[in-house]
Amino acid sequence: NEKYELDKIFAGDKDITETKTFEVNSDTEVKVTFKKASSTCTVNLKVGEGGTASIEGAEDLSKVARGTTLTVKVTPNEKYELDKIFADDKDITETKRFEVNSDTEVKVTFKKVISTYAVNLKVGEGGTASIEGADNLAKVAEGTTLTVKVTPNEK
């Protein structure tokens, strides 16, 4: 049982293979042709800012045999972590693996790790103080600006 793939789509004499859409202004013959699928596929890797990635399991990503399972290896830069990995529209972030059955684009994105710090308020005798600018002083995001409000006792 041989595998086929789309070759061309014509609406009249207009090639609509990419868009697969056309406007009807007269009687129109739509012609769809198929071709035998190549036994190999191309895998393209796009890596966003914040780290590096590679694909293991094939020597040449421009000639990957159909049915091959590949693994994405990621290395985030300092202060970054893996966000998502997609093989075309499929989220493979958890497994980092995918099977090649057609030309595939793999997208790897990273996100900045936001460091958090604890802020402790110690108030001596003679007044009260509070800190504003964070909901949880036990976990304040790096770079947050806080304001100390003080009220001295009047007696």
CB atoms within 10 A of CB 106: 21
108 and 120 inside one domain: no
44 and 100 inside one domain: yes
| 49: DSSP letter | T
32 and 45 inside one domain: no
pLDDT given for residue 37 in this prediction: 77
64 and 78 inside one domain: yes
Tally of structural domains, the chain: 3
Of residues 71 and 40, more confidence is placed in 71
Find residue 148's DSSP bridge partners: 131
21 and 70 inside one domain: no
pLDDT given for residue 3 in this prediction: 77
Q: Which of 1-15, 21-35, 65-79, 82-96 has the lowest mean pLDDT?
A: 1-15
Per residue in 112-129, pLDDT (tens digit) is: 998 899 999 999 999 999
pLDDT given for residue 154 in this prediction: 87
Stated as kind and residue range, the H or E segment containing 87 is strand 80-87
133 and 145 inside one domain: yes
Rounded Cα–Cα distance for residues 104 and 55 (Å)? 12
Find residue 85's DSSP bridge partners: 108
- Residues 6 or more apart in contact with residue 51 via CB below 8 angstroms: 74, 75, 76, 77, 80, 82, 108, 110
Structural domain range at position 26: 4-36
CB atoms within 10 A of CB 147: 9
pTM: 0.60
For the chain, the average pLDDT equals: 94
Distances from the Cα of 143 to the Cα of 133, 138, 149, angstroms: 11, 15, 19
Q: Please, are residues 150 and 127 in contact by the beta-carbon 8 Å criterion?
A: yes
